[in-house]
Amino acid sequence: MEVEGGAELCFPELLNASCRKPAPPGSEAVLLNVLLSSVSVLTVALNLLVIISISHFRQLHTPTNILLLSLAVSDFLVGLLLMPGEILRETACWFLGDLMCSLKKYVSFIITSASVGDMVLISIDRYLAICDPLHYTSRVTERRVKLCVCWLCSVFYSSVFVKDDLTHPDRHHFCYGECVIVTDYITGTVDLVLTFFVPITVITFLYMSVFMVAVSQARAMRSHITAVTLQHSETPTAKKSELKAARTLGVLVAVFLMCFCPFYCVSLAGDDLLNSSSASFVLYLFYFNSFVNPLIYALFYPWFRKGIKLIVTLQILQPGSREANVL
């Protein structure tokens, strides 16, 4: 490969096989990279606070919060691994080799599938809490939720899709110094169905059901015959706290879909995700959801704000802090 216009190479010693170095970024690109790096750091810090809060305080050891904990772990990894990796891939030569490039794709698949799975489980949890409150506590237990939150399933699922890249990391190699992630048509289609169409359908159906029941119960509580209705009803209505939790988690799911859908819509449009101008935007939008989630917790959950205060002031290091009242 000849060098035109005096362009610098990533590996000058490999004149005929090296990629060119990316052009020096302009002032706008520098500001954008600084912003993205700041978002990455904040994503790690905020989700770490969520992880510590739910893990440390016993009052927060509930089935719903276990799902939030799993989601916070995936969001934490997005900020720690995926955001910096993508910034590096877009702005500089890739000096980490083909194997690390394939591992980046592998980890990305794992985290994405885990996040989608958590959102589906959160929707199921709210559906059972609102639509079947009589059996919720017996059906949804901490032990069962922990079994459902299985990251090994995400690891296995991702292994099936990227096994060829892991065994032959240079199969899509064009030149040294770049990290190109290519997904064939069949793999992309199957992944599109399993991580987009099916989850979106399930989440939409469950939350529409929750919304209808919540509206119905809100009207019943405002009516003058609520007391009579409750006396003759064999199935208790959901608690007010459950309805509030459903609304809060509904916001969480809605924001997730807003950040999640554009990424797959580009795939449906047949655009080349790796080389198109829209690729970086939809990918960073998807990653941006990991930064927004803990902000939603801070806005809607008093326990998270109390937990942050106890963590920042190091009161969690005191004996008996696990039993602190944060609700």
Q: Which sequence spans correspond to the domains of the chain?
A: 27-323
- Amino acid, res. 220: A
Query: Which pTM does this prediction carry?
Result: 0.84
pLDDT at res. 1: 42
Ramachandran angles phi, psi of 18, nearest 5°: -90, 145
Give the residues across from 9 on adjacent strands: 20
Alpha-helical (H) ranges within 140-276 are 142-148, 151-167, 185-192, 198-222, 226-232, 240-268
pLDDT at res. 177: 78
Non-local (6+) Cβ contacts of 108 within 8 A are 82
pLDDT at res. 273: 46
Question: What are the Cα distances from residue 218, in Å, to 130, 177, 244?
Answer: 12, 59, 11
Report the residue count for the chain.
Answer: 327
For 82-116, give one letter per residue: b (16+ CB within 10 A) or e: bbebbbebbeebbeeebeebbbbbbbbbbbbbbbb
- Amino acid, res. 230: L
Ramachandran quadrant class, 162 (left: phi over 0; alpha: psi -120 to 50; beta: rest):
alpha
| 287 within 8 A of 83, measured Cβ to Cβ | yes
pLDDT at res. 243: 64
pLDDT at res. 2: 45
Q: What is the residue-level pLDDT of the chain in tens, covering all 327 positions? A: 444 444 577 777 776 777 777 776 667 778 888 898 999 999 999 999 999 999 999 999 999 899 999 999 999 999 999 999 888 887 888 888 788 888 888 899 899 899 999 989 988 998 888 888 888 888 888 888 888 887 888 888 888 878 777 777 666 667 777 787 777 777 778 888 888 889 989 988 988 888 787 777 666 666 645 555 455 444 445 566 666 667 777 888 888 888 888 877 776 665 444 455 667 788 888 899 999 999 998 888 889 999 999 999 999 998 888 998 888
Domain 27-323 CATH class label: mainly alpha
pLDDT at res. 311: 93
Ramachandran quadrant class, 177 (left: phi over 0; alpha: psi -120 to 50; beta: rest):
left
